[in-house]
């Protein structure tokens, strides 16, 4: 114990070393950095004033409304794309044989375009899909992964695929989740958990300061939200202990941890916080981002 105590640096030593560490760094000249800060602040304040005090504010609201209508229409179009047969999407009926041979699935092309766009603009947040588009994109990725598995042999396993402890396979997929959820959670990892009967659950792990979050989505049409929650419990090997309904949200405990399930469109989603300190309100705030 005494030896361990000796190893720990005392407070004054840390204080002195830290002071030295911070004071030793010589920053660039003030005149090099300050003008950029001043200019940015001035520009933002000026823009803020204009928007708040003139007709531009109403123009902004109108533009936002147009954007929402456009995004809504686009979302409906994408839903139609996923559910409609190929022949309804303008494909030549005579080429149906070819389409069956290459087993092209509607929506996969769009997912590839999305990936390409994201790769080309890696550093631009603008290239990230909107939150409401996430699970649509997730579904497309699942279809793509499913195709690869169906057409491949054991030796042709998808690159990055690793067996889990219980024999299931996880597939590493390209980034399609947002970098950040709210202010506190950063995207850390994403996986697909193939389940029995060809169901797939797409999971993203977000790391936070206090605890991490697991976001789970599926494009399968479950009977009801309770069934969905039970299946998630099975997927994570967490027995579901308690289910309570509150303002459209279903709270559950999986393995002693708090979870929240909700409906987005016709599909169910869930957020699981593997921490004892997670609060319902925090989970509700995150869920609200997807609605």
Partner 1 sequence: LEPQQLAKLVETDNNEARRTLFEAYYRRTFAVAYNILRNRESAEDITQDAFIKAFQSIHQLKDSSKFGAWLSVIASNLARNYLKRGKKVVYSDELPEGYHQPETVDTESEALKTLEVERVRRAIKDLSADHYQVIVLQFYHDLKVDEIADLLKISPGTVKSRLFRARQKLAIALERDRDPACHK
| By CB under 8 A, residue 113 contacts partner 1 | no
Q: Which of residues 32-61 bind partner 1 (CB under 8 A)?
A: 32-34, 36-38, 40-41, 44
| Minimum distance, C-beta of residue 20 to partner 1, in the bound complex (Å) | 6
For residue 20, state whether it binds partner 1 (rule: CB under 8 A): yes
Nearer to partner 1, 74 or 257 (CB): 257
Q: What are phi and psi of 274, to 5 degrees?
A: -75, 65
Say whether residue 158 binds partner 1 (CB under 8 A).
no
Beta-carbon count within 10 A of 32 CB: 9
Window 200 to 259, contacts with partner 1 (CB under 8 A): 207, 209-210
Q: How far apart are CA 150 and CA 29, in angstroms?
A: 61
Burial 83-94 (b: 16+ CB within 10 A, else e): eeebeeeeeeee
- In angstroms, the Cα distances linking 60 to 51, 57, 72, 267 are 8, 5, 18, 32
Cα–Cα distance for residue pair 125/175, rounded to 1 Å: 13
User: Does residue 182 bind partner 1 (CB under 8 A)?
Assistant: no
**Exactly one of 1, 24, 126, 221 binds partner 1 (CB under 8 A); which one?**
24
Number of DSSP helices (H) and strands (E) in the chain, helices first: 9, 10
Q: How many residues bind partner 1 (CB under 8 A)?
A: 39
128 or 269: CB nearest partner 1? 128
Q: Does an H or E element contain 253, and which?
A: strand 249-254
Query: Taking a C-beta distance cutoff of 8 angstroms, is the pair 78, 110 a contact?
Result: yes
Cβ proximity to partner 1, 42 vs 88, nearer residue: 42
Residue 1 as a binder of partner 1 (CB under 8 A): the answer is no
Closest contact distance (angstroms) between CB of 13 and partner 1 is: 5
Work out whether 118 is an interface residue with partner 1 (CB under 8 A): no
Q: How far is CA 139 from CA 81, 161, 201, 289, in A?
A: 12, 18, 9, 19
User: Is residue 279 within the footprint of partner 1 (CB under 8 A)?
Assistant: no
Positions touching partner 1 (CB under 8 A) are 4, 7-9, 11, 13-28, 30, 32-34, 36-38, 40-41, 44, 123, 179, 184, 186, 207, 209-210, 277
């Amino acid at each position: 114990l005494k030896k361990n105590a000796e190893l720990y640096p005392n407070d004054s030593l840390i204080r002195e070393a830290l002071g030295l560490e911070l004071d030793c760094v010589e920053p660039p000249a003030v005149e090099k950095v300050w003008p950029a800060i001043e200019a940015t602040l001035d520009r933002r304040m000026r823009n803020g004033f204009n928007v708040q005090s003139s007709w531009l504010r109403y123009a902004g609201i109108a533009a936002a409304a147009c954007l929402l209508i456009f995004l809504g229409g686009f979302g409906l179009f994408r839903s139609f794309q996923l559910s409609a047969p190929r022949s309804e999407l303008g494909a030549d009926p005579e080429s149906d044989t070819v389409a069956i041979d290459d087993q092209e699935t509607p929506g996969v092309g769009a997912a590839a375009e999305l990936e390409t766009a994201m790769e080309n603009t890696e550093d631009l947040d603008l290239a990230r899909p909107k939150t409401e588009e996430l699970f649509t994109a997730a579904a497309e990725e699942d279809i793509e992964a499913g195709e690869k598995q169906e057409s491949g042999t054991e030796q042709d396993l998808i690159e990055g695929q690793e067996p889990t402890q219980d024999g299931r396979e996880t597939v590493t997929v390209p980034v399609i989740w947002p970098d950040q959820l709210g202010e506190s959670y950063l995207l850390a990892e994403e996986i697909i958990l193939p389940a029995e009967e060809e169901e797939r659950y797409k999971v993203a792990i977000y790391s936070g300061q206090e605890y991490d979050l697991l976001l789970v989505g599926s494009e399968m049409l479950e009977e009801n939200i309770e069934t969905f929650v039970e299946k998630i419990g099975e997927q994570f090997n967490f027995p579901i202990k308690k289910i309570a309904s509150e303002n459209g949200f279903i709270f559950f405990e999986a393995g002693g941890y708090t979870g929240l399930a909700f409906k987005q469109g016709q599909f169910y989603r869930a957020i699981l916080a593997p921490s004892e300190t997670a609060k319902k309100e925090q989970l509700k705030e995150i869920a609200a981002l997807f609605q």
